[in-house]
Structure 1
Amino acid sequence: MSVPFPPVEPPSSEWALGHVRPSAGEDLVAAGADLEPGTLLMAYRAGLFPMGLGDHGARPIGWWSPEPRGVLVPGGFRERRSLKKARARFEIRVDTAFADVMARCADPEREGRWITDEIIAAYTGLHRLGWAHSVETWRDGSLVGGLYGIAIGGLFAGESMFHSERDASKVALAGLVDIVHADGDPRRLIDVQWATEHLARLGVQEWPRERYLAALGEALQAPAVQFG
């Protein structure tokens, strides 16, 4: 499926998530609303993202703004020698298997799963409009790793990643870095939500929420990242 560029702006949301301000020390900002394209884009532009509060991500929808926030900035990615060697084993593709990447990220066998059928439908809709993208790792014609997220201006908000072969998700992240930071614009930002020890080894930093929100405003003003 061809992904439109520039993305198609959907109707605005009836909700006011963009005006909700988080409480100090709280990651959860609000609950409820819907997953319409306009609602999702409004939320990301305000530094929020959805994750259900019920079992395995079921409703009600929670809207989150982590404190601190995991971010990857231009020049911050740490590509060790082993990862450079691993790149040679895989082929990077973009937006050729978005639905498959989401399905693999939503695998019910995964610990801590939270991606519901409703989430899949919502982000697939954003993909059709040109806002959601997948970066995929392939080997011998098989999808073996990948990630997906939302691109708005110079922001890429990563949502989830998977791998079925060693290093496949790290190579997908390296491919994402190549795309987002291709033009060297210092305002560009990759948001990973919550930093993990694994991501920290790759250069992800933890920022106070207010610093993230200030940088988000700058990133949204940067030229749109071009995928494909």
Structure 2
Amino acid sequence: ADFLVPSLTKFGAGPTLSKWRLRRKIKASYPLFVPKRGSIASLEGGMQMLVQTLAEKLNEMNNVTVRLNVEAKDVATVAKQNDLPPSAVIWSAPGHLEKEQATELSIFAIGFHRDQVSHLPLGYGTLIPDPTLPISGVLNESDIHHSKRCPENHRLFRLMVPHDRWDGAEESVLSCAEQLIAPNPVMFSMVGTRQIPRFPPGYMSKMSKAMSEASLDHTYVGWGATGVAITHVVAEAERIADCFDIEPSS
């Protein structure tokens, strides 16, 4: 619950904006119309568009310097390199308390003509807990995104394949996908390999203890600090932005 529903456990500092004030600010940000409550939106071009836009905006700011290919070993090293105290560092990399573990998995894309998969209802996707199958989950890529993800009259699916359940042969993934979805896909391709952070039981308690004992002398954000959930990303962005808005006391 600390990871996915922080409002239930009251873990960490509360959001800097009330829901009412945040709702007003969001409503005022739409130039043409306000979408209906409960509707789903997606970024044209995917999440990479958000990263690219943020990078462009940061590069336009006179008080921001972006440094690439710089080794950030720990907070003390970063602070020393920039001649700053550790309290001035906002650490978003993993490894706050211990070496971060991760689940390695490969991502595959598979597509079908709509008639081939008409028996599958529209939806978000399916989790597959059977450890004997190489595929742990199927994401209905073209169903959940409003932006175009595949040709007309087709459906695109994304397959999650953990390496600890897979023999490494793409043929075994294709065979499993044909059993789960439908035979003879019009396309099948490996997208790449990724790692998902894995935190052992008690990790959040250790973070809470470190905060209460003030053994962490810097500001920290990210999955390794406050949990794995998109809601944490939004809440942390609010807190950081609010810190920059605070007037220094005289």
* Structure-2-length-normalised TM-score: 0.23
Q: Which has the higher strand share?
A: 1
TM-score, with length taken from structure 1: 0.24
| Bigger radius of gyration among the two | 2
